[in-house]
Each structure stands twice: as C-alpha cells, then as structure tokens.
Amino acid sequence: MKPIKVGLLGLGTVGTGVVRIVEGHQEDLQRQTGSAIEIAKILVQDKSKLRNISVDVDKLTENVWDVIGDSEIDIVVEVMGGVEATKAHILTALGNGKHIITANKDLMAMHGAEILAKAAENNCDVFYEASVAGGIPIIRALVEGFSSDRITKIMGIVNGTTNYILTKMSQEGAAYADVLKEAQELGYAEADPTSDVEGLDAARKMTILSTLGFHANVALSDVEAKGISKVTKEDIQYGKKLGYEVKLLGIAENHDGHISVSVQPTMVKNSHPLASVNGVFNAVYVTGEAVGETMFYGAGAGELPTATSVVADLVAVVRNLKLGINGRTVQAPYKEKKLKTDEQIASKNFILLHVEDKAGVLAQITQIFAEHEVSLESVFQHPNKSNPKAEIIIITHDANQASMKNVLNQFESMDVIHAIKSVYRVEG
Ligand SMILES: NC(=O)C1=CN([C@@H]2O[C@H](COP(=O)(O)OP(=O)(O)OC[C@H]3O[C@@H](n4cnc5c(N)ncnc54)[C@H](OP(=O)(O)O)[C@@H]3O)[C@@H](O)[C@H]2O)C=CC1
Ligand SMILES: N[C@@H](CC=O)C(=O)O
C-alpha cells in the first residue's frame, strides 16, 4: 500500500505529539482511512537541537522548501506557529496543491478568509480543529453538529494557561508569576505568554468560534479583549465568599444578527458548569435556539490532546483524498455582520469599591445607579477597623454597557469613593 506522505512544519510540543500519535496509532489510522500515513519530512529551526522524541535525522530539514515544494508530499501539517512567514508558506503549499492542517489560531483568526479562499481555488482542504480548545472537537461541533440550528451564545474557557493560573490562585492561593512560570514549563503557554495572559490568545479563538458559529465574518478587531494580569487574590477571595469563581471567559452573543464578542475575567456563579472547569482544561458552552444549552469539555492545550485534534484532521483529509472530495472546507457565504452597540450589550456586574466609611455614602452611590437606571441585586460592606475606609461590593442586575460606563465615570469624580478596585461581568 502506497503511504500518504505528510510534511510537518514544526517539531515542538504539538509536532512531537503528532509524530507520537501517527506512529503509535498507525494501525488504527490505516483501518480508518485505508492508507498508511507517513511523516516524510519535518521542518525545524535547528536540526542539532536535543529532542525528547527520536526521529530519523534524514527527515529533519531547516529548509521549508523541502516540505512545501516536495511533489511527493500530499498534506502539510503546520505546527510551527507564527503569522506572516507561516502564511506565505501555507499559501505557497496550497498553490502547490497540498492540503493543510494547522493548529495556528493566530493565523486563522487573522488570515483565515484568505487561506480558505486560496484553498477553494486549488480544491484543497484546510482543517484547523486544534486551533481552538486543543483536544475538544468544538469546530466540528459548530460546523457540522449544529449546522441545523441557530447559535445564540458561545461562552468559552478557551485558554488553558490562564485557567491553570486562575485555578491555582483560587485553590492554593498561589502567586500569579510562579504559576505562569509553571504553565510555561508544562508547554501550555505561547512562546510569548503575554498573548495568553492579556486575553489575545482567547480573542483569536473566539474570533474563529464566532465566525463559524454565527456565519459572520468576525474580525479579531471586533473582539474586546481583557486579560487576567490585573486579577488580584483579593478579587478571587471576595468572589469565592459570594459564591463565584473568576474565569477568563470568551463571550460571543448573537441576537437577531447583532453580534458582540469579548474576552474578559468574569465572576462565574458556582452553580454554572463553567465554574468547575479547572486547571488546563477548557470548556465551551454553546446555546442554540433549538438545541438549548450544551457544553464541551476537555484538555485545551498540551502535546497529546492538541495532537489528537491535528491527527483527526489528518484522518479527514485522507478520507477526502480517498473519496476525491477535497476542497469542501469553504464556508457558506457569510451573513452581513452587525456589531452590537454598548446599549445592546447587557450583563450583571460585580463592582468592588473602596469608599469612605461614613453616613450617607451608600445612599450617594446607589443614587448614581438609580440615575442611570441600573438596578441592584445586592450590596455587601466590609468595614476596615484600622482605617476609615470600607470595601463595598455591589452586584447589579442585567445592565447595559453604556449605563455601566456612565456610572463608573461618575464614580471617578466622587470624593467619597477612594478607588474603583475592580469591575467584573457576572455570568450564571
Ligand atoms: N502548545 C499547545 O498546547 C498548543 C499549541 N497550539 C499552536 O500550535 C502551534 C505550535 O505550538 P507549539 O508546538 O507549542 O510550539 P513550539 O514552540 O513548542 O514548537 C515550534 C516548532 O516549530 C519550529 N519552528 C518555529 N519557527 C520556525 C521557523 N521559522 N522555521 C523552522 N521551524 C520553526 C521549532 O523548531 P525547533 O524545534 O528547532 O526550535 C519547533 O519545532 C502554535 O501555532 C500554537 O499556537 C495550539 C493548541 C495548543
Ligand atoms: N497557550 C494556549 C495553548 C493552546 O492554544 C493555551 O494556554 O490555551
């Protein structure tokens, strides 16, 4: 049996997992596809680097052309990361008739439309299941499983590094910097972890999910992203006391074609299934008009979970090759994109204020909420005996973002408010 030849761009965390699964599951893969799958060439930066997998050195190359220009190679698996140079390699490979599998969310969030168009021109497949939520087959669920429904909301814990950090801070009182270092050592974090902790990685994943879920061409610049670098132990502890866990959530909503997409640290009620998604695990909570609420859970990063999705894409491409139906990955035409205004985005909010502890202060604060028609669910006060300052936590009912901005602007200028310590969206 003539094997299907695969070229791998990258042999880091994910690439190593791909080699392990293709070699270790070869018999099962052959049974499922009717073909042997051979990793014929592997692009790396440095051939002499010590690796934790043994590969035939003749397969390693530092020249990308040995992969994307090799006429024997049918499928290119891109697990090297990067955007501009990588995009150029992928477009060239597509031009050479190669099918593409990528785990690269940065690339797909920024240039997905162009890459898919080039694939269509060349009757090639482009699959990118591993680009969102590592080992969870969420892209297939949105594209195939829910093709009959209209998705109204996608809420996801889609960054393993930040979920790992927040979990350790919540459960062990660990310090932010120490846990970040651990996540890097475990291979969860991006090469530059700023994109994890500042919410950019999650924003890229939410761009992909909302584009697929809402059939709209959502751009990365449409996503409002805020990370976890300002989340304090104090916020986490206060949240816990009131029955919430702090999670970095991607939240995409679609009401009658009006869309909003954001990434932000969120107070998630303990009773909500997303509150108990811990460690490097990811989960995506999808609500559809017909199906109702659903949740997908699993490992969101790491060598083997991520490689599982990559190799599943490989199986899909090989099956398509057998059937002669490659090039079907093109999206249906997008619907017109209408982004929600601040007046159309509503949520409950958690606000922690440091205020002067004297008569009438609470009345002044609640008056401001009333003026902007923000209704309050509850107010808690923690007096501080050692100084004339109190901590007040306010939970609002659903309030629109425009009103909340007005309230917070007014708080900035009030003498009795010493600090707006934190503001979180509340879910659940
Ligand atoms: N790590 C994870 O859990 C997940 C990662 N991803 C995505 O998968 C992709 C790969 O991630 P990961 O495996 O962690 O990355 P790593 O940094 O571990 O590995 C990158 C690999 O690509 C090679 N490489 C990088 N740049 C070049 C270049 N310019 N020329 C040639 N080779 C190059 C490196 O070579 P060398 O080994 O010689 O340095 C290395 O083998 C990224 O897009 C990432 O966002 C997606 C989901 C989860
Ligand atoms: N850095 C990412 C890796 C997977 O996409 C994460 O932590 O989730």
Q: Which residues line ligand 2 (CB under 6 A)?
A: 134, 159-161, 188-190, 196, 201, 300-301
Beta strands in 357-388 (DSSP E): 376-384
Ligand 1 close to Cβ of residue 12 (< 6 A): yes
Taking only the tens place, the pLDDT of each residue in 87-131 is: 999 999 999 999 999 999 999 999 999 999 999 999 999 999 999
According to DSSP, residue 208 is labeled H
Q: How many helices (H) and strands (E) does the chain have?
A: 14, 18
> Under the phi-then-psi rule, with left for phi > 0, alpha for psi from -120 to 50, and beta for the rest, what region is 298?
left
CA–centroid distance, residue 47 to ligand 1 (Å): 14
| 99-102 and 75-78 strand pairing | parallel
- Name the closest ligand to CA 105: 1
**Please, which pLDDT band fits residue 387 given cuts at 50, 70 and 90?**
low
Tell me what percent of the residues of the chain surpass a pLDDT of 90: 89
CA–centroid distance, residue 236 to ligand 1 (Å): 33
- Name the closest ligand to CA 196: 2
Residue with CA at minimum distance from ligand 1 atom 25: 80
**Please, which pLDDT band fits residue 188 given cuts at 50, 70 and 90?**
confident
d(CA 153, CA 415): 40
The mean pLDDT of 195-211, rounded to a whole number, is: 97
For residue 231, what pLDDT is reported?
94
Which residues are annotated as catalytic? 205
CA–centroid distance, residue 21 to ligand 2 (Å): 20
Structure tokens at 75: 């499928």
The mean pLDDT of 194-221, rounded to a whole number, is: 96
Domains, the chain: 4-133+303-323 (3.40.50.720), 138-299 (3.30.360.10), 342-427 (3.30.70.260)
Ligand 1 close to Cβ of residue 424 (< 6 A): no
Ligand 1 close to Cβ of residue 50 (< 6 A): no
Probe residue for ligand 1, chosen from 13, 49, 55, 115 as the CB with the greatest number of ligand atoms within 8 Å: 13
> Under the phi-then-psi rule, with left for phi > 0, alpha for psi from -120 to 50, and beta for the rest, what region is 133?
left
CA–centroid distance, residue 80 to ligand 1 (Å): 4
Nearest CA to 232 out of 265, 272, 183 is that of 265
Ligand 1 close to Cβ of residue 11 (< 6 A): yes
The mean pLDDT of 11-32, rounded to a whole number, is: 97
Asked if the model's pLDDT at residue 287 lies above 90, the reply is yes
Ligand 1 closest atom vs CA 16: 13
Asked if the model's pLDDT at residue 385 lies above 70, the reply is no
Contact 245, 183 (CB under 8 A): no
For residue 382, what pLDDT is reported?
78
Residue with CA at minimum distance from ligand 1 atom 17: 12
For residue 332, what pLDDT is reported?
65
**Please, which pLDDT band fits residue 153 given cuts at 50, 70 and 90?**
very high
Contact 369, 377 (CB under 8 A): no
For residue 389, what pLDDT is reported?
78
**Residues with Cβ within 8 Å of residue 161, at least 6 apart in sequence:** 180, 183, 188, 189, 190, 193, 196, 197, 201, 280, 301
CA–centroid distance, residue 182 to ligand 1 (Å): 18
> Under the phi-then-psi rule, with left for phi > 0, alpha for psi from -120 to 50, and beta for the rest, what region is 398?
beta
**Residues with Cβ within 8 Å of residue 427, at least 6 apart in sequence:** 155, 249, 251, 266, 267, 268, 269, 272, 274, 347, 348
Residue with CA at minimum distance from ligand 1 atom 16: 12
Tell me what percent of the residues of the chain surpass a pLDDT of 70: 98
Taking only the tens place, the pLDDT of each residue in 310-326 is: 999 999 999 999 999 99
Asked if the model's pLDDT at residue 388 lies above 80, the reply is no
CA-CA-CA-CA torsion sign (182, 186, 192, 198) = negative
Ligand 2 closest atom vs CA 300: 8
Q: How many CB atoms lie within 10 A of CB 419?
A: 13
Average pLDDT, the chain: 95
d(CA 104, CA 91): 14
Ligand 2 closest atom vs CA 196: 1
For residue 331, what pLDDT is reported?
60
d(CA 311, CA 19): 9
Ligand 2 closest atom vs CA 103: 5
For residue 190, what pLDDT is reported?
81
CA–centroid distance, residue 135 to ligand 1 (Å): 16
Ligand 2 closest atom vs CA 130: 5
CA–centroid distance, residue 360 to ligand 2 (Å): 48
Nearest CA to 210 out of 220, 197, 198 is that of 220
Ligand 1 closest atom vs CA 14: 13
Taking only the tens place, the pLDDT of each residue in 62-76 is: 999 999 999 999 999
d(CA 98, CA 156): 32
**Cα distances (angstroms) measured from residue 308 to each of 43, 160, 312:** 20, 16, 6
How close are the terminal C-alpha atoms of the chain, in Å? 54
Structure tokens at 137: 């087959």
